[in-house]
Amino acid sequence: MRLALELAVGGQGRVEPNPMVGCVLVKDGACIARGYHHVFGGPHAEIDALQSLRSPDQAAGATAYVTLEPCCHHGKTPPCSEALIRAGVARVVVAMRDPFPKVDGGGIRQLRRAGIEVTPDVLKADAEALLAPYRKRVRTGTPWVIAKWAMTADGRIATVSRQSQWITGPESRLRVHRLRARVDAILAAMGTVEADDPMLNARLIDAEGAAVTPPRVAKRVVFCRRRLPALQSKLIQTADTIETWLFTSPRVDGGRLAALQQRGARVFALDSDDPQAMVRQTLQRLGDEGMTNVMIEGGAELLGSFWNPTSGACLVDEFHVYIGAKLFGGVSAPGPIAGAGLSPIDLATKLTLSRVDRFDDDVRLIYRRVVG
């Protein structure tokens, strides 16, 4: 099952909104096939493993280790439960049940009715952690939110004069582009757009320095509370080639929207100018559009809008914190999260550390928000 979970990660950024799934077939104590879901619309993990066999007869009597309950409905591909039954497997070991309503236990029941032994919940916690974004979207209809920032060892994201390039080194910045290359959307606010004139896209290169096409081209989402991007901005100049979505409050100049739309921008009118309400409405719309993972690239003010300082509620699920080997100092040098901030310490957002990486002298910490 650990091998199946490792295989499943190969589909990250390519299979969403489907879940990442891995499958290993074992017979007579030996691994005879392995597979995973490579790309959205392509064969699922079980089919990929079965198709890798030298002969279909090899699967008879085998045990299939699958990281997610086999699907039992007709979607873009036929049901995997039926494929396993036809293949003659004797046992199916499942890491976690699929929460998708069209499955949700149905695949396990179908296998058992066919006389196949099913062992559920093997490495369940590992599978749930891997599929946390998928599980959240199925459960709430909203995407998994990743916040990313780079800061100095003393916790500053810029100097007192607001200079920030570069806090971290080339390898850290490459890792950020890899993250951009697997998410559905990159979120920024107008402060970042005006200050940096960013492209908000993934720029990947191979070992020879040649450009590499990312597995997923993220949509660029801009929160426009009071102002709109300039026609000359990089985002609008490239809006006809990279989808650019503007989520606007009632306070923006509506007369400028037509010109932005003519350049290719897509406009979503929100009914509030409250930053937290705008964030909630935007996340719901992104979920309605089928997004599974989104990342925040937009500065301290936008990050602060994902917190409620009164209740301590937080809308961010995962944090990628890059710590550069620099010190800026200065009382007025900004930190990563602005806004009113929390007062009582018992309202602090609690995190669990899931990964630590070192890139030269930089460190990346990946946290997940503790739920409950």
Alpha-carbon torsion (285, 290, 292, 295), positive or negative: negative
Q: How far is CA 137 from CA 4, 110, 143, 199, 289, in A?
A: 23, 25, 5, 27, 11
Task: For residues 172 and 206, give the distance between their C-alpha atoms in angstroms, rounded to a whole number.
Answer: 16
371: which residues sit within 8 A by CB, 6+ positions away?
A: none
* Residues 112, 86: Cα–Cα separation, whole Å: 13
Structure tokens at 22: 């891995």
CA distances from 99 to 70, 107, 132 (A): 12, 11, 11
Task: Flag whether 318 is marked binding.
Answer: no
Annotated binding residue 164: yes
353 marked as part of a ligand binding site: no
- Bridge partners, residue 144, by sequence: 293
200 labeled part of a ligand binding site: yes
303 annotated as ligand-binding: yes
Residue 33 is assigned to a ligand binding site: no
Q: Is 300 annotated as a binding residue?
A: yes
171 is in an annotated binding site: no
- State how far the Cα of 183 lies from the Cα of 295, in Å rounded to an integer: 7
Tell me whether residue 343 is annotated as binding: no
**b/e 112-145 (16+ beta carbons within 10 angstroms → b):** eeeebebeeebbeeebeebbebbbbbbeeebbbb
- Is residue 56 within 8 A of residue 27, CB to CB? The reply is no
- The annotation status of 297 as a binding-site residue, yes or no, is yes
Cβ–Cβ < 8 Å for 23, 48: yes
Residue tagged active-site, from 6, 16, 46, 289: 46
> 355 to each of 106, 116, 285, 296, 321, how far by Cα in Å?
34, 37, 30, 19, 11
Asked whether residue 80 is marked as a ligand-binding residue, the answer is: yes
Q: Has 302 been labeled as part of a binding site?
A: yes
The answer to whether residue 318 is catalytic is no
Report the C-alpha gap between 1 and 22 in whole angstroms: 9
**Angle separating helix axes 80-87 and 106-113, nearest 10 degrees:** 20
Closest CA to 1 of 64, 46, 83: 64
Binding residues for Zn(2+): 44, 71, 80
List binding-site positions for NADP(+).
150, 166, 192, 196, 299-305
Q: Which residues are catalytic?
A: 46
Annotated binding-site members: 44, 71, 80, 150, 164, 166, 180, 192, 196, 200, 203, 297, 299-305
Going by the annotation, the residues of the binding site for substrate are: 164, 180, 200, 203, 297
